[in-house]
Amino acid sequence: MIVNPKISVLVPIYGVEKFIGRCAESLLNQTMKESVELIFINDASKDRSIDVLNETIESYPDYPGIIRIVTHEVNKGLPAARNTGLDAANGEYIVHIDGDDFAEPRMLELLYKAVSKNNADFAWCNYYITFTDKKKIISQPLFSEPIDAVRGMLRGSMKYNVWNKMCRLSLYKDNNIRFPEGNAMGEDLTMIMVALHAQSCVFVKDALYNYVQNEGQMTGTMDERKLTSLRYNCDRIREYISLKFPTSGLEAENAALCQLMKWPFLLDGKMSSYRRWHKWFPESNQYIWQTKGVNTRIKFVEWCAASHLLPIVWLHYIVVIRLYYGLVYGK
């Protein structure tokens, strides 16, 4: 029995019956198995997700690590499931895996080697956007200091999502960092709070995570509840930086985060979304050209929107979003 595992892998489960078997197999087949704790959080899933998970686990009777299933009696949502996982974890480092995604075989090994060699507080890696019959590698930037990684996440040049990273559990516990229960849209922004407290970091260039795009995911729309959550989480991060790190010099990056959050409103061709873009964080528009690391095309389209040049914004939607991405991703 492992007393002090090196890694705790947290997997929230709700409505992932079709995917959890592949996810679990990708973890049970990792090249690093010893000193690993797999914690699956059943968020009162109503389908056969847990049955499939148990069947998969039973087919690996010789797995040398720890496997635990923690159950919510009622559905509490993704952020609460992540918090339950953090409370149950005993590992030095935390890895988050979503139940409909899956890991490459060496993910745990390579990330742990990197943090151990560099005595790093957190690590991140490249990843794949994975479709049914193809995948596309998404490259992440290299930063040597945590504050620069924070700037990258705020600007959008680095993915702030939790699932392509390995972090010390102490970063969460020592700083009382929790995921925002009841506000699932944008909850991954919590990773910025974690990184702000890190003293060291390291980048692994290998693509080690598969971010699976399911039917309708690329073109899905957000209802008012999701938009309210997104706004809440964006405001939460901005306030956290202002209160906890008032001399960090992240004012422009804070504005860039606002632009990043409302950028999708310029991508669906709807007049209502265009109006919402103007309504959200209008004070951040003055920083459009001042933030480093943001794609020039994005800056230009945002400047056009701020300048009320709607025909150019619409042309970008038709040519880039509908035609180009339609060909690349087959959507």
The model's confidence at residue 324, banded by pLDDT at 50, 70 and 90, is confident
Buried b (16+ CB within 10 A) or exposed e, 162-188: bbbbbbbbebbeeeebebbeebbbbbb
Q: Is the CB of residue 201 less than 8 Å from the CB of residue 195?
A: yes
Phi-psi region of 16 (alpha: psi -120 to 50; beta: other; left: phi over 0): alpha
Q: What are the residues whose beta carbons fall under 8 Å from the beta carbon of 126, sequence distance 6 or more?
A: 137, 138, 139, 140, 164, 204, 205, 206, 207, 208
DSSP category for residue 163: G
Residue 186 has pLDDT above 80, yes or no: yes
Q: Which residues pair with 42 in a beta bridge?
A: 13, 71
The pair phi, psi for residue 216, each rounded to 5°, is 85, -5
Cβ partners under 8 Å of residue 180, min gap 6: 79, 187, 190, 229, 232, 233, 236
> Is residue 100 scored above 70 in pLDDT?
yes
Distances (CA, A) of 28 to 80, 94, 160, 308: 25, 16, 26, 53
Over 50: is that where the pLDDT of 321 sits? yes
Residue 294 has pLDDT above 90, yes or no: no
Half-sphere exposure of 283 (CA within 13 A, CB side): 4
Residue 215 above 60 pLDDT?
no
Count of CA atoms in the C-beta half-sphere (13 A) of 190 = 23
pLDDT band at 290 (very low <50, low <70, confident <90, very high): confident
Percent of the chain with pLDDT over 90: 85
Residues written for the chain: 331
Name the residue type at position 161: N
Q: CA neighbours within 13 Å on the CB side: how many for 183?
A: 18
